[in-house]
Homo-oligomer: A and B are copies of this chain.
């Protein structure tokens, strides 16, 4: 055994060890609570009990599923409990069946599991998508779950008990219409209109329902997955659990290396959030990387294989049309989407139209049987500031709009992927063009990166663009990690990417005026003003880091939770403390004298005089 193989094995064992360590996990000062959505529907959330006199509870949206519940024990070799099993059974429109596709790898004894080899499929003639139910006027359990989940913060008792927590600011919504209180009928109506999607494959009953649409909270996606030169199954499962801890609303498994099927199986069985994939990646692995060996038959077979496993949404590059390729010829960075580049090369090599486009209706028919949502990939997205908003990009976008209408004919849920690299002044046009050409189907963008000059910090270059496009109406933001353009992200990169994107999403929610958004800001700021340090940490997006930074820089003996200052300013210069002293002093408003513009009267306006005056002063 080479030392490299030995190292890899150690890494994998380490990762498996870590999975056991992080499941279950609860942040210090938080505890798992389930909100009752009626009809035995329990919605998980992270609750923080404040330490002020009111002892209010603040409920926070929680993506971590059973991994965030100390009362549950998860065996990652068996997978998560199947939350949606009874809902799916009750609908009586699906049937259990043996899977047709099994693992593609013989090394599986290294990863023994107790996963089922069955799957579920729609009964003949049945469409089982949430869009289908929504159009039929049916409010599903998934929709009820989602309504409760989206309202979490509004339903907080805290907001009624402490008037400081009420939102003060109104938003600017750019055409979004977010009701004061979201109910299940609103969820249904938005799905029916195609303005929102609920990506939930019937073969992923472990997933907790969530919604992607611009009249809901802005969501965040994290990409994980191995590449041929890095990482193992255990590491990817660990990244999955880690991602949901830090707030990933969906996770894309972008594996391109060996054991793709098995890696995905582990991910889906253990994922409390919807899983997306880019099926063409697996196809290319199957043909040893030879683009011209790709075919529609292989693609369809791969979709079927992933459908049985439970993939919740497929990114397919159906809009990379053969005739658009010359539009990229003058670009600075050509085609930067992996899927886009693969399909472009196929079209050009074969001198044929993109087979994903040609067979789009067949794909829709398949998706309708499993409720797989389509994420129409932007294979021609710009990869540099220079290429932003060009004709290649917008030609593809218009095509995606045509395909959206076709998917809707099949009751298949659709979202549209967007760029990429876009300078600030061109971001709004991306959103307005998308709304116009794609009939308000949800937009799902990568960033966009607002400059190209900071490799190593592209979570930040893109977090700026993400906040902006989220405000303008983008429904889900695909994170970018610090390693973008440089290498495969590790756990710490995943966390940095996610925290940055949760910031962007929340800043966008605030800016749109989402009624549930400002409560958390207010609760945290009130804690800050009151020197309730622990509350401030507990309410933070990353309680661990906030707590560690405070303790690390506080001098010995002063890092206690009652200190009325921190090391940034020290005790004499803490404005919060000074201000509290001021309030203690406060005189009534009418005792204050009126503004007297004294500054205008005690010196002349002549420079020479002024200088003379200054001389006297000196």
Contact = CB atoms under 8 A, between A and B. Distances in A.
B364 A610 contact: yes
Interface in A369-422: 369, 383-388, 402-403, 406, 409-411, 421
A125 B611 contact: yes
Given A169-B386, A366-B617, 6 more contacts: A281-B573, A333-B576, A333-B579, A369-B618, A402-B599, A460-B460
B525 A386 contact: yes
A195 to B, nearest CB: 21
Which 5 interchain pairs have the tightest Cβ spacing? A487-B553, A361-B603, A365-B614, A384-B525, A424-B511
A98 interface: no
A227 B322 CA distance: 63
Given A411-B607, A452-B521, A582 B335 contact: yes
Contact of A334 (B326, B348, B529, B548): B529
Nearest to A610: B365
Interface string A493-514: 0000001101110111011110
B348 A582 contact: yes
B587 A348 contact: yes
A605 B410 CA distance: 7
Interface stretch (A13-21, A79-87, A461-469): A461-469
25 contacts: A227-B568, A229-B554, A229-B570, A256-B572, A285-B572, A323-B593, A323-B594, A333-B529, A341-B578, A344-B579, A345-B578, A351-B587, A357-B598, A361-B613, A365-B611, A383-B525, A383-B576, A384-B529, A385-B521, A385-B525, A406-B599, A411-B607, A486-B546, A487-B549, A487-B553
A71 interface: no
A602 B362 CA distance: 9
Interface string A253-285: 000110000000000000000000000010011
Contact of A582 (B344, B484, B574, B600): B344
A536 interface: yes
Given A546-B456, A595-B323, A611-B368, A528 B485 contact: yes
Residue from the set A229, A300, A482, A542 with the largest chain B CB neighbour count within 10 Å = A229
A406 B610 CA distance: 11
A230 interface: yes
A540 B548 CA distance: 30
Interface string A569-588: 11111111011111101110
